Structure 1
Amino acid sequence: MTPSLDRIAAETRTWLAGADRPLILGLCGAQGSGKSTLAASLQAAMEAEGRRTAILSLDDLYLNGIARQQLADAVHPLFRTRGVPGTHDAVRGIAILDAAKVGAPLSLPRFDKGRDEPFGEEEAVGKVDLLIFEGWCVGARPQAESALAAPVNALERREDPDAIWRRYVNRQLWGIYAELFARIDRLVLLAAPDFGVVRDWRGQQEEALWTSKASGAMDAVQLDRFVQHYERLTRHILAEMPDRADLTLPLDHNRQPRADMYAYMKDKVRQ
């Protein structure tokens, strides 16, 4: 196991041992932080120990293109781009997490990022002991209203000068996303060292897509604009989530646990 996987697996075993029903494990990490790979490795480790495990990515809850265009027309053009709260089917996410908690068989949606549309068929996974719910803003809380006034980057300054987009995103975190994230039993944060590294990490992912000649790969200009959609909330998460997550793993620029810091767990039980 890698150091991150070893630590998360150890804590997950403890959490599972103390649970009287299926466990919902939230895994939050900035784009490119390795959360999807880590979730898959954790699933393999738990299944090797006989625990029925499935993964739901927040990305798999994205609305289809028509729904996002309708949101863009009704609220703000920036909602045509998938990513921020408001561009997911949070109601469906709530239904899935509720079904997992009561031990019902699951059918999980999957999203095709190449086509920017959901796959036509869902994945039937049955009952689980552990559902890993991973995503870049899983467990995020809203910002204070006063924090929304000043733009954090060129995208907000040029394309959201009246703060309509970012205020709508924040209202989603107060509303339906708060209901969704309240269903998480334990929250793990992969804490990037800063937001600046996120552009580099996401750039590495895009380079891999270019190498594989996958559809939908972005060039440098497109990528620079794209990551700005995520900047505000990523910075907020890195500032406020570490002290309340059940387990926080501070990462270095190579996605490895930082040698000068320790992972820590809050000794508490989520309601």
Structure 2
Amino acid sequence: MAATPDIPVLQTRIIDDKSPICIPFILSQVQAHKSRLQSPGHARPFVIGLNGVQGVGKTTLVRALANTLEQREGLSTLVVSIDDFYLTHADQLALAAAHPDNALIQYRGEPGTHDIPLLTTFLTSILSPSYSSSSSSSSSPSPTPIPIPSYNKSAYSGLGDRSPPSTWTSVASPPQILILEGWLVGFRPLPSQTLESKFLSPDAKTLHNHTLAHLEFVNSALSLYEPVWNTFDAFVHIDAQNLEWVYDWRIEQERQLRRERGDINAMTDEQVVKFVDGYYPAYELYEEGVREGVFKGDPNKKGCQLRMVVGRDRKVVESVVI
């Protein structure tokens, strides 16, 4: 384990030093995207995938990006979290019951615990040429609003459940920019040989807490996510010099909740370590691939990924376009 209850707590408030780096990159990508369009009147939203380890400042960044793109650049922007596409409580219980020995999928989080058909349906609707063209033409009928699923993480004593559709918000017209964010966004499945090699590595930290077969289950499930990743026009990756800092960052966040809000439901340090342990195997398996580039092998998307590396204080120490 990378964290202990008596870790020193550094700055818990996250200063946005990332959007000033991201905005020029995104605008250049949007401009290149527009220049490639054969029919501007049928332009679909420009889709950005955004990945960042837990506690690194992902939420702060996407809020800043949406505000700047809309208010300063005049580009309508919709941010969607992959967390809102988790399986329903009932479906998650069924998945866990079908694989009772696989600790990776007893709780939401890892690949395989999302409703990919629901996510695909949402993206297909919002990216459809007919939807985009109807909203861009005054002579076309108004497009049917597209509902945006939402997930209630506090339901069932923290086990979570999908919110009732009656509570979902809707998007009345397609945004110019769509950002899909999440801690596993862009993770791509590994070849079996590579997966086994990582599992057998003496440097593995949490992989040995599971069987190879259980890791293979998650790896296989991840292949269902790839068609979603393939819709991305650009990608933003918030990386860390040391992935184990995710433990410390999450502990700091929970301590801040207790200190500033008196949140009695905030996790203890020990609970945070156990919580992050459930996610960390995926970081060990797939973070290297994101670093190498989620568009690797696609010559048409060279230069379409921005990687920002942060230090222990979550401030950017390096950025590179891949």
Range class of TM-score, shorter chain: 0.7 to 0.9
- Of 101-110 and 65-74, more deviation after overlay is shown by 101-110
Q: What residue in structure 2 maps to residue 108 of structure 1? A: 148
Q: Which letter maps to 1:50?
A: G
Q: What residue in structure 1 maps to residue 247 of structure 2? A: 199
Larger radius of gyration: 2
- SS of the residue aligned with 2:170? strand
| Offset, 1:216 | 4.6
Q: What residue in structure 2 maps to residue 253 of structure 1? A: 312
Paired with 2:120 and 2:273, the residues of 1 have a C-alpha distance of 32
Choose which of 179, 192, 198 in structure 2 pairs with 1:132. 179
1:53–1:128 contact (8 Å) kept in structure 2: yes
Choose which of 173, 188, 205 in structure 2 pairs with 1:141. 188
Deviations along 1:51-86, whole A, 9 cap, x unmatched? 111111011111122111100111245222111111
Question: How large is the Cα RMSD of the aligned pairs?
Answer: 2.1
Paired with 1:14 and 1:60, the residues of 2 have a C-alpha distance of 29
- Scaled by the length of structure 1, the TM-score of the pair is 0.87
Choose which of 226, 238, 244 in structure 2 pairs with 1:190. 238
Q: Which letter maps to 1:207?
A: R
Determine if the alignment matches structure 1 residue 89 to structure 2 residue 136: no
1:100–1:131 contact (8 Å) kept in structure 2: no
- SS of the residue aligned with 1:177? helix
Determine if the alignment matches structure 1 residue 265 to structure 2 residue 321: yes
2:83–2:151 contact (8 Å) kept in structure 1: yes
- SS of the residue aligned with 1:54? strand
- SS of the residue aligned with 1:25? strand
Flag structure 2 segments of 5+ consecutive residues without an equivalent: 1-14, 38-42, 133-142, 295-304
1:26–1:138 contact (8 Å) kept in structure 2: yes
Give the 4+ runs in structure 1 shifted more than 6 A.
none
- SS of the residue aligned with 1:236? helix
Paired with 2:227 and 2:59, the residues of 1 have a C-alpha distance of 23
2:189–2:286 contact (8 Å) kept in structure 1: no
- SS of the residue aligned with 1:18? helix
Q: What residue in structure 2 maps to residue 269 of structure 1? A: none
- SS of the residue aligned with 2:175? coil
Paired with 1:93 and 1:74, the residues of 2 have a C-alpha distance of 23
Q: What residue in structure 1 maps to residue 298 of structure 2? A: none
Q: What residue in structure 2 maps to residue 181 of structure 1? A: 229
- With over 3 angstroms needed to count, the CA separation of the structure-2 counterparts of 1:130 and 1:30, relative to structure 1, is same
Determine if the alignment matches structure 1 residue 230 to structure 2 residue 279: yes
1:62–1:111 contact (8 Å) kept in structure 2: yes
Paired with 2:150 and 2:257, the residues of 1 have a C-alpha distance of 19
2:237–2:306 contact (8 Å) kept in structure 1: yes
Paired with 1:131 and 1:220, the residues of 2 have a C-alpha distance of 35
1:114–1:215 contact (8 Å) kept in structure 2: no
Paired with 2:256 and 2:309, the residues of 1 have a C-alpha distance of 25
Percent sequence identity is 25
Choose which of 207, 214, 217 in structure 1 pairs with 2:266. 217
Matches within 5 A, 1:53-92: 53-76=77-100, 77-78=102-103, 79-92=105-118
Flag structure 1 segments of 5+ consecutive residues without an equivalent: 267-271
How many residue pairs align between the two structures? 259
| Offset, 1:99 | 2.3
Paired with 2:25 and 2:99, the residues of 1 have a C-alpha distance of 42
2:187–2:287 contact (8 Å) kept in structure 1: no
- With over 3 angstroms needed to count, the CA separation of the structure-2 counterparts of 1:216 and 1:88, relative to structure 1, is farther
Deviations along 1:193-232, whole A, 9 cap, x unmatched? 1221000111122223334244753222221111112112
